[in-house]
Amino acid sequence: MDVRLVAVQLDALDPAVPAAFWAGLLGRTTVVEPAGTLLPGDGTQVGLRFVPGGEAKVAQNPVHLHLTSTSIADQEATVARALGLGGHAVDVGQRPEEGHVVLGDPEDNELCVIEPGNAFLDGCGFLGEVTCRGTRDVGVFWSEALGWPLVWDRDGETAIQSPDGGTKVSWGGEPVDPDAPPARQRLELAAATDDLGPTVDRLVALGATRVDDPAGPDPSVAVTLADPDGHPFHLRRDRPGAGDGGS
């Protein structure tokens, strides 16, 4: 495909703080770039990027991450490591009988440490899932945009995964409320081209829309678009040596 998924971008009051937390939790290095602090992924694990954002978190995020476990002891060790790195327990209404553990990172971004034996995340790696609020149309859009097959399509919920396996990206529920605070998280794509125009045209034909950003970077280098639910994402020209986030 002409684009690849590089990272999930997360706004941060101090990018260094959540970047250090996630680097310690995932066992990754941090790379400070003009576009923000990147925790590179690889061919099967999505990257994370932390960028300066002036708004503190005021509501539950429409995007959060799921980490997998190989055993109860492994789950407990991940939770303990997260707490030791500055994370904290979060109550989002989970029931006591549910096996996953909900935490927040130092800037209150939610994450779940999933119990062992979860068949849906079997073989997905430690960062098993990026789960997003969104309609079926969005899952179909991203499947076509990235060339990743739909590995789940049932009751309005969808998930896609690289043909090489690894982290799944899923959607479910209602679209993000247009009156909600500005999105603090977005997907970051890179296109291996010197001209973003044809890639932008293809994504628009699939259902994306251009988002005007007068304060944004040179549109020949990077552009902001929105998916069919109106959630923004970034597309930039690929840079040699940039950290991979997926296939």
Average pLDDT over residues 49-68: 87
Helices 197-206, 136-146: crossing angle, 10 deg rounding: 150
Q: Kindly tell me if the per-residue pLDDT of 40 is higher than 60.
A: yes
Give Cβ neighbours of residue 203 (< 8 Å, ≥ 6 apart): 3, 145, 225, 235
User: Could you report the per-residue pLDDT of 148-202, keeping only the tens digit for each?
Assistant: 999 999 999 999 999 999 999 999 987 767 677 677 899 999 999 989 999 999 9
Per-residue pLDDT, 173? 84
User: What are the extents of the domains in the chain?
Assistant: 3-214+221-237
Per-residue pLDDT, 2? 84
Instruction: Considering only residues 240 and 39, tell me which one the structure prediction assigns the higher pLDDT.
Output: 39
Per-residue pLDDT, 214? 60
User: Could you report the per-residue pLDDT of 199-221, keeping only the tens digit for each?
Assistant: 999 999 999 999 976 656 676 78
Per-residue pLDDT, 221? 85
Give Cβ neighbours of residue 61 (< 8 Å, ≥ 6 apart): 109, 110, 184, 185
Per-residue pLDDT, 242? 44
Q: Kindly tell me if the per-residue pLDDT of 60 is higher than 90.
A: no
- Across the strands, what pairs with 111? 65, 103
Rounded distance between C-alpha atoms, residue 166 and residue 4, angstroms: 14
Average pLDDT over residues 94-100: 74
- Across the strands, what pairs with 52? 12
Per-residue pLDDT, 247? 41
In percent, the amount of the chain with pLDDT more than 90 equals 75
Q: Please report how many Cα atoms fall inside a 13 Å half-sphere around the Cα of residue 176, on the Cβ side.
A: 24
Superfamily designation of domain 3-214+221-237: 2,3-Dihydroxybiphenyl 1,2-Dioxygenase, domain 1 (3.10.180.10)
Per-residue pLDDT, 154? 96
- Three-class SS of residue 234? strand
User: Could you report the per-residue pLDDT of 71-82, keeping only the tens digit for each?
Assistant: 999 999 999 999
Per-residue pLDDT, 57? 73
8 A C-beta contact, residue 113 and residue 101 = yes
